[in-house]
DNA sequence: AAGGAGGAAAAAC
DNA sequence: GTTTTTCCTCCTT
């Protein structure tokens, strides 16, 4: 099951792995282009696990500058991160020409991401032109965590959920260039002419380097506060790297758990008359499921549930554990865990049923987590799942469209931009509709532009597609719902186009925004800044 | 000048 | 009835 992420803790010369329940970071990186930076950021969140003081610096990188691609091959998770600031944000703080970072790794990718972040994205004094591959004070895993089948990862929320909490990362200021030693700069590829970090080169040469240096870095890495903060439990390294025999030992347990989960899912599906595939749930079915889960686990009831979780199933499935907890501090984690079980169960169901790899079911992007589908291909499962074969098609197509957009980030014309929300609306926006509009705003899968869209929804749509609209409107602090309109004229024009109001301008648009103050949809920011607005919770979710 | 705040009224839904 | 649009005045940056 991949709902746990493996982290390395660097402590002296020993390596140990820790498990963490949340997976949002990896999701974000792998699935959604608009959340790629969050994904990277969340990595830090996971590894460092403390306060993060340099968010503003980090945010100065636009989404456009970051391409994250992933590949799942040879039973390994390979992660590639490229950051290209060539077309980048022309901030004085980032006078960056071309920078490329690239790495591929297996499960210890986080380790490198961490370095990557600390030197290129977050460190306030380190523009991306001077990226150093910071040396690891301990060996990197060469071993590959063998996965019997491809790892599929759960999708990431398109905009909000990979967001790191500002309290989550700290010590970024520790990562300054002077901490890194020259010899490791040789990891920069000598042949490219670009600052291309060749991780392989680095890996090959790591043993040649004694570990007496980088005291600050090592000291930081030895800080294990993140373990406590994230409830990380030590996991013996051998358990993960011990090879397939270990896997075999736990297989019956997992299989049993899956069977149990499956039965539970089946029963609930029958009772609620909902699909076993959370991606297919409508908004009201999501409410049914949440309430059912609350009852099942005897949780505290959730007032305003439909406002806290207005998503349809597809969107709900993309929310991270963190997001659930943010919305429902008491029970969010349980809800999320339960949803993960449903997702995994369904994927397992589908994979067995199809007799194919998971990607044929979930698609390359929906990436639902699987409990290592090869682990439990029992006849019981097959028998139980015959009636669920043809689910999962329609939502794949939608996600696929988004992936297509990601893979070919062609500059859109202004007219195209106005159409972008049309594509996304069915999957993302109805979920944000206020309760009182559910009836006429949430027809599922219409695929048409909602003429009833609210301004705040529209703004969130724009915010959710930073690659397209990042120059017009962008988040300043996603966690707080603070955003800035960078190009008021353009935003107003887009809004006017959407509403078929040719005379729309920013003056009118801003008046509408101000109406939200007393409605509790938006609020004035603490510090008044021009063109900066702030959503109220939970509208920013 | 551009934008922010908010009143008022009309229009749109 | 609610939301948005339109127009407005006054104020701040």
Tens digit of pLDDT per residue, chain A (541 long)? 222 222 222 222 222 222 222 222 333 333 333 333 322 322 222 222 222 222 222 322 222 333 333 332 222 222 223 233 333 332 222 222 222 233 333 223 333 322 222 222 222 222 222 222 233 323 232 322 223 233 333 333 333 333 333 322 222 322 222 222 333 333 333 333 333 333 344 344 444 333 333 343 343 334 333 333 333 333 333 333 333 333 344 444 455 556 666 777 777 887 787 878 787 787 778 888 888 888 777 777 777 777 777 777 777 777 777 777 778 877 887 888 788 777 777 766 655 544 443 333 333 333 333 333 333 333 333 333 333 333 332 222 222 233 223 333 333 333 333 333 333 333 333 333 333 333 232 333 333 344 678 899 889 888 888 878 888 888 888 888 888 998 898 899 889 888 888 889 999 999 999 999 888 899 888 888 889 999 987 787 7
In the prediction, which pLDDT does A510 show? Answer: 93
Which residue is closest to B11 in terms of CA–C1' distance?
A501
In the prediction, which pLDDT does A480 show? Answer: 85
Mapping DSSP onto H, E and C, the string for A225-254 reads HHHHHCCCEEECHHHHHCCHHHHHHHHHHH
In the prediction, which pLDDT does A351 show? Answer: 52
Which residues have C-beta within 8 Å of that of residue A309, sequence separation ≥ 6? A286, A287, A290, A302, A316, A327, A328
Nearest nucleotide, CA A512 to C1': C4
Which residues have C-beta within 8 Å of that of residue A440, sequence separation ≥ 6? A452
What does the alpha-carbon distance between residue A3 and residue A117 come to, in Å, rounded to a whole number?
23
Structure tokens at A30: 């792998």
What's this model's pTM, rounded to 2 decimal places?
A: 0.30
Q: What SS3 class is residue A534? A: strand
Nucleotides in B strand less than 7 A from protein CB: 2-8, 13
Q: How many CB atoms lie within 10 A of CB A260?
A: 12
In the prediction, which pLDDT does A258 show? Answer: 63
Asked if A516 CB < 7 A from strand C, the reply is: yes
Q: How far in angstroms lies nucleotide B4's C1' from the CA of residue A484?
A: 14
Q: How far in angstroms lies nucleotide B12's C1' from the CA of residue A535?
A: 25
Q: How far in angstroms lies nucleotide B1's C1' from the CA of residue A530?
A: 14
What does the alpha-carbon distance between residue A62 and residue A17 come to, in Å, rounded to a whole number?
33
């Amino acid at each position: 099951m991949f709902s746990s992420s493996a982290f390395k803790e660097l402590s002296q010369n020993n390596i140990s792995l820790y498990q963490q329940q949340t997976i949002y970071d990896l999701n974000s990186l792998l699935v959604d282009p608009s959340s790629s930076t969050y994904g990277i950021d969340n990595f830090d969140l996971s590894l460092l696990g403390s306060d993060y003081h340099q968010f503003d610096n980090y945010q100065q990188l636009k989404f456009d500058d970051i391409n994250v691609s992933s590949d799942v091959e040879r039973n390994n998770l390979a992660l590639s991160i490229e950051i290209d600031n060539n077309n980048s944000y022309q901030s004085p703080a980032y006078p960056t020409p071309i920078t490329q970072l690239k790495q591929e790794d297996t499960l210890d990718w986080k380790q490198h991401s961490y370095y990557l972040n600390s030197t290129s994205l977050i460190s306030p004094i380190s523009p991306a032109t001077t990226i150093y591959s910071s040396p690891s004070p301990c060996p990197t895993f060469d071993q590959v965590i063998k996965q019997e089948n491809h790892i599929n990862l759960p999708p990431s929320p398109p905009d909000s959920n990979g967001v790191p909490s500002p309290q989550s990362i700290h010590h970024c200021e520790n990562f300054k260039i002077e901490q890194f030693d020259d010899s490791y700069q040789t990891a920069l590829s000598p042949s490219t002419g670009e600052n291309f970090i060749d991780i392989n080169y680095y890996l090959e040469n790591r043993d040649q380097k004694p570990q007496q240096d980088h005291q600050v870095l090592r000291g930081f890495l030895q800080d294990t506060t993140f373990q406590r903060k994230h409830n990380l439990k030590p996991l013996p390294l051998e358990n993960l790297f011990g090879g397939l025999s270990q896997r075999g030992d736990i297989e019956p347990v997992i299989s049993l758990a899956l069977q149990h989960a499956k039965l539970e899912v089946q029963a609930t599906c029958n009772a609620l008359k909902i699909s076993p595939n959370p991606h297919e749930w409508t908004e009201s079915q999501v409410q049914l499921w949440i309430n059912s889960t609350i009852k099942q686990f005897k949780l505290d009831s959730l007032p305003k549930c439909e406002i806290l979780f207005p998503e349809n199933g597809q969107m709900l499935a993309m929310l991270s554990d963190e997001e659930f907890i943010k919305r429902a501090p008491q029970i969010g984690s349980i809800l999320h865990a339960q949803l993960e079980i449903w997702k995994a169960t369904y994927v397992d169901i589908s994979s067995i049923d199809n007799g194919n790899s998971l990607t044929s079911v979930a698609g390359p992007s929906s990436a639902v987590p699987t409990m290592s589908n090869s682990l439990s291909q029992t006849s019981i499962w097959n028998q139980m799942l015959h009636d669920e074969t043809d689910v999962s098609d329609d939502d794949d197509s939608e996600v696929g469209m988004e992936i297509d957009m990601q893979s070919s980030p062609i500059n859109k014309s202004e007219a195209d931009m106005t159409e972008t929300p049309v594509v996304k609306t069915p999957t993302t926006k109805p979920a944000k509709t206020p309760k009182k509009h559910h009836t006429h705003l949430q027809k599922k899968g219409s695929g048409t532009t909602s003429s009833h869209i609210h301004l705040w929804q529209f703004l969130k749509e724009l915010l959710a597609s930073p690659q397209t609209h990042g120059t017009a409107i962008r988040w300043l602090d996603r966690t707080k719902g603070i955003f800035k309109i960078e190009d008021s004229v353009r935003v107003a024009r887009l809004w006017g186009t959407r509403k078929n109001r040719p005379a729309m301008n920013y003056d009118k648009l801003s008046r509408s925004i101000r109406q939200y103050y007393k409605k509790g949809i938006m609020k004035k920011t603490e510090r008044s800044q021009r063109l900066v607005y702030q959503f109220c919770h939970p509208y920013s979710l």
